[in-house]
Structure 1
Amino acid sequence: MNFRDESFMPDDDRAPVLAAGPETHFKPIKTIPVFSLHLLISTIISFTGIVLAMILPESKRCEAYFIMLYLRALFWLITLMIDHIVKHMHEKSRLSGYIDFHKATAMHRSVPFYIVTLWNNVIIVIQTLTQHYYGDNFTSHCIQGFLSPIAYITLFNVVETFFLFIVVGSYIARVYKFNNSGLPPDALNGNFNDNIGSVGVLHPHAHLVELIEKQADLISYLKDHNTNLNQKLIQLSTDLNILRGEMINREAE
Structure 2
Amino acid sequence: MDSKGPSLYSPADPSVDLSRSVEEDSMVDGPLISADALHSAIRREFQTVPTPCKAGLLSLLHVVYVVLSMCVAVLCLLKVGQEEVCASILGKVQGDSVIVFGKACLWLLVLLFTWCVQHHHSRARSRGYLRFYRQMQGLKHLPLTVHSAGNVLLLVVLAARLSATLQAYMLLSVLGLELLVALPCLVYYTVKVMQFNRERAAPDVSHEEHTHNFSVTSLPTETGFREGSNLEEVVEKQADLIEYLKQHNTLLSKRLLNLTAQH
TM-score by length of 2: 0.71
**Change beyond 3 A, Cα 1:39–1:77:** same
Structure 2 SS opposite 1:30? coil
Work out the CA distance in 2 between the residues paired with 1:152 and 1:211: 46
**Counterpart in 2 of 1:243?**
none
Contact 1:95-1:221 within 8 A present in 2 as well: yes
Whichever residue aligns with residue 195 of structure 1, its letter is E
Work out the CA distance in 2 between the residues paired with 1:202 and 1:155: 48
Whichever residue aligns with residue 154 of structure 1, its letter is L
**Counterpart in 2 of 1:194?**
221
**Counterpart in 2 of 1:50?**
70
**Counterpart in 1 of 2:238?**
215
- Structure 1: runs of 5+ lacking an equivalent: 135-140, 241-253
Work out the CA distance in 2 between the residues paired with 1:109 and 1:124: 25
Contact 2:153-2:174 within 8 A present in 1 as well: no
Whichever residue aligns with residue 114 of structure 1, its letter is T
**Counterpart in 2 of 1:31?**
51
TM alignment of 1:83-232, pairs within 5 A: 83-130=114-161, 141-142=163-164, 144=165, 147=166, 149-190=167-208, 194-196=221-223, 202-232=225-255
Contact 1:28-1:179 within 8 A present in 2 as well: yes
- Structure 2: runs of 5+ lacking an equivalent: 1-24, 88-92, 213-219
Whichever residue aligns with residue 222 of structure 1, its letter is L
Residue deviations 1:162-209, cap 9 Å, x none? 21122112222222222222210001000895133xxxx533443322
2:98 equivalent to 1:67? yes
Whichever residue aligns with residue 180 of structure 2, its letter is F
Work out the CA distance in 2 between the residues paired with 1:202 and 1:46: 49
Contact 1:53-1:64 within 8 A present in 2 as well: yes
**Counterpart in 1 of 2:109?**
78
Work out the CA distance in 1 between the residues paired with 2:42 and 2:235: 28
Whichever residue aligns with residue 153 of structure 1, its letter is L
Work out the CA distance in 1 between the residues paired with 2:208 and 2:99: 51
Aligned-residue CA RMSD (Å): 3.3
Higher relative helix content: 1
Count of residue correspondences = 218
- Of structures 1 and 2, the larger Rg is shown by 2
Structure 2 SS opposite 1:27? coil
**Change beyond 3 A, Cα 1:232–1:91:** same
- TM-superposed CA distance for 1:227, in Å, is 2.2
Structure 2 SS opposite 1:190? helix
Contact 1:24-1:184 within 8 A present in 2 as well: no
- TM-superposed CA distance for 1:235, in Å, is 6.0
Whichever residue aligns with residue 48 of structure 1, its letter is L
TM alignment of 1:223-242, pairs within 5 A: 223-232=246-255
- Percent identical among aligned pairs is 21
